[in-house]
Amino acid sequence: MKSIVTGGAGFIGSHLVERLLDAGDDVVVLDDFSTGRRANLDAVADRAALRVIEGSILDRRLVDEVVNGADRVFHLAAAVGVRLIVDRPLDGLRTNIHGTENVLDACVRSGARLLLVSTSEIYGKNTADRLHESSDRILGSPLTARWTYAAAKGIDEAFAHAYWNEFGLNVVIARPFNTVGARQTGRYGMVVPNLVGQALRGEPLTVFGDGKQTRCFSSVHDVVPAMTALIESPECVGAAFNLGGKREISILELAQLAIDTTGSSSSIVLVPYEEAYGAGFEDMRRRVPDNSAAAAAVGFDPITPLEAVVAEVADDLRRRSHVAEPVAL
């Protein structure tokens, strides 16, 4: 089985690549190393079945070449992270819309199966008690940079669905909710490595807003197997599946958990959103998944406790601060 992983040097992508190699696949990674890191693939760098190609999904000819002859494509390459999207919305729009279109076209031409990795961000400000895949999307103005990510990913999903309908593309969509684990970096906004890094350095933990906003964090070790199961299930074609954690936690509670897990003496400070992300920034108060569709389709059961996820991130940050290519701890 030949699998392509766009964004395979990223946080989730690198865990997926390891799993595919362990299952005996030939794996080709296409990554532009904008946010991905070569070091994320260190554990598998010497595997003969792995090929890493440095290039962008915006390079249509390259995407065609890479996808040609593949059995399946896991499309994870994207501009991600609230910090990055707010700072460079145009890059995000181009990569996330035109890049995905290139991947969809290449899959139609080659006949490869596709897993499109979308995001829970598409639900926007819908605070429903359990967001179902058919729940409404409540987005702010497209002129507010934060919403450009949800807008672009929503278009990606609509494109994928139309390609399935009109060209018979064999595509399934995953919507991960705040996936966390080793190799995730806080540089682009992600809260868990950010808070854990601050706790390890003994700095104040920066909780944005009032800290009462909630999320349902999930382990990359629960999410990645669900992704491979989804692409392998013919009955999932043409549909989208939430992949989120079970436990709803406020960011203030999360900060305390980061302090407790690391044994840090850090304090917690509340930082206004305008200070963190500039004027006009809007956050989601709550984001809680209904995972029942993925549970029924592929047995998705996010069992890893958040304590274990936070401990994994802390171990990873400690380890990486001592290697040749240190992360900013």
Residue closer to ligand UDP by CB (options 178, 256) is 178
Smallest distance from ligand UDP to CB 288, Å = 12
Please confirm, yes or no, whether 277 is among the known catalytic residues: no
Total site size for ligand UDP, rule CB under 6 A:
14
DSSP string, 69-122: T-SEEEE------HHHHHH-HHHHHIIIIIIHHHHHHHHHHHT-EEEEE--GGG
Site for ligand UDP contains 151 (CB under 6 A):
no
What totals of helices (H) and strands (E) does the chain contain, helices first?
A: 12, 13
Site for ligand UDP contains 251 (CB under 6 A):
yes
Q: Are 139 and 125 in contact (CB under 8 A)?
A: yes
Binding letters toward ligand UDP, positions 71-90, x by CB under 6 A: -----------x--------
Site for ligand UDP contains 146 (CB under 6 A):
no
Site for ligand UDP contains 194 (CB under 6 A):
yes
Residue closer to ligand UDP by CB (options 20, 36) is 36
Smallest distance from ligand UDP to CB 290, Å = 17
Q: Are 103 and 114 in contact (CB under 8 A)?
A: yes
CB-based contacts of 282: which residues, under 8 Å, 6+ apart?
A: 125, 140, 144, 146, 147, 273
Selecting among 149, 163, 188, 277, the annotated active-site residue is: 149
Describe the crossing of helices 145-167 and 100-110 by its angle, rounded to 10 degrees: 10
Binding residues for ligand UDP, per CB under 6 A? 82, 121, 178, 189-191, 194, 206-208, 213, 215, 251, 283
Q: Which residues are catalytic?
A: 149
